[in-house]
A and B are shown apart, each in its own frame.
Chain A
């Protein structure tokens, strides 16, 4: 509809092909139904019900496209949608946590892309513009990001920090995930899957009947779901590239469905470094960042699932640590171990437990078989909890939980000496208060 950048009062429509792409698998199904009809095997009268259903679906898609429009109003993105239940959604751009560009396979075929704005707040919605023409997506994202940084859309207002020009600056690639290790890492992390698959194959060779029975009795569904799980991870993380740009961290990757994401600086709530058990001999790790936002609601598209972003799905530990340094320059260097008697409380975790803090950041390590290291910048701490259970009381131990707005990072100072935990609670409260007062550094 709109090829040039129109004035901001103008309403935009989504790309005309959106209903087709949004239908996704349904579209493919429709084509499959249509093929025999097109070949004219049967007379058309036989196919009337199918044609009717297809007609309805197409109509619904077109109508939903017709009633959806969006525009940028001052500092908000406004989306209006719905025929019977009209919805007018406003998304304040200042609260944008991250912006994703998602391109599923079908969307790539039609050269369109989805723009997804992740907002703060646990109940807040995600603004989705599905779909926008491919060549418009990048400028639009840059414009939204610029607005989110506080620049006006006229671009007349002087940039406050000096480097807020909307001009795309050269980004600096930090890491690219190699394909071989990615495959190996997925298989190693889900080693039990491999074991079961191999078992099934061997079983197939020995006694095909038993295996066939197993597969028929629900095993097939299970196998299929596992296969899609592995495939989705591979698809998502294939050649994932992390780059540092002026407007934040850029993440790009994907095999069939391409995603590109920008995480604004200072929006990272927590960083987590995971070392699954079987990766450890190889010195591999996965680095994840947590951005504020809500939990995935039921019934949302599969693509929504890419919530927690792995900055590096798999990589050398040294690379992960280097990236952590970049994200949190003032991360604590020295971690202290819990007292020896903590072994009786958590024997499996004991070897991994430790914590440390600097003036702006707290780090904890834990994990039974897999090692998990969490870093939380203190200005992002939401609340602190001091917990002492019955066993801990007997051993005079206590834990301090650091709550963040993220979804999967649970930083816990587990099983510390009771006096130390009390001190840590007081210290962290004071430091977090000081950190909140300080203007954001990054």
Chain B
């Protein structure tokens, strides 16, 4: 299962605005700047797209897999029994798009299992199912 977050659209929007402003002002330099902004925007879009495309998670029988990162590719394995608690957060931007971030905490501070950009319903479902599985398989320290 893989979910994408299309925040990259924002980058494109920003570069378009820049390009329009540059075109309206009418000088040669402004045209050049607008072109650069467009190219940067397109590259940024690609970068952000790739980055967000790399996020993924899989619910397995006894553990959760979370992967992320393009430059630094990370894959975390978190056994359900080790989860201490789960939190679901939604920042202002995420709220605007109806999204939420699910974060898993274990007793180890280094554990880094975060799934951003989930639709809110899916986030709630995931949280409940993880909590249930965690309870069923809980292991002491």
Contact = CB atoms under 8 A, between A and B. Distances in A.
B110 A410 contact: yes
B81 to A, nearest CB: 6
Interface string B94-111: 000000000000111111
A310 B120 CA distance: 47
B126 interface: no
A404 B63 CA distance: 16
Nearest to A440: B140
B72 A389 contact: yes
Question: Which residue, A295, A407, A425, A433, has most C-beta atoms of chain B within 10 A?
Answer: A433
A269 B82 CA distance: 14
User: DSSP class of B's interface residues: helix, strand, loop or mixed?
Assistant: mixed
A126 interface: no
Given A389-B72, A433-B62, A383 B111 contact: yes
A425 B77 contact: yes
B106 A403 contact: yes
Contact of A383 (B71, B73, B76): B76
Given A386-B74, A387-B74, A122 B62 contact: no
A347 interface: no
Contacts of A436: 79, 81, 139
B112 to A, nearest CB: 7
A346 to B, nearest CB: 15
A425 B75 contact: yes
B interface, size bucket = 20 to 34
A433 B82 CA distance: 10
Contact of B63 (A120, A406, A429): A429
Interface string A401-422: 1011111001000000000000
B131 interface: no
B141 A97 contact: yes
Contacts of A403: 106, 108, 110-111
A388 interface: yes
Contacts of A385: 74-77, 110-112
Interface of B: 62-63, 71-79, 81-82, 84, 106-113, 139, 141
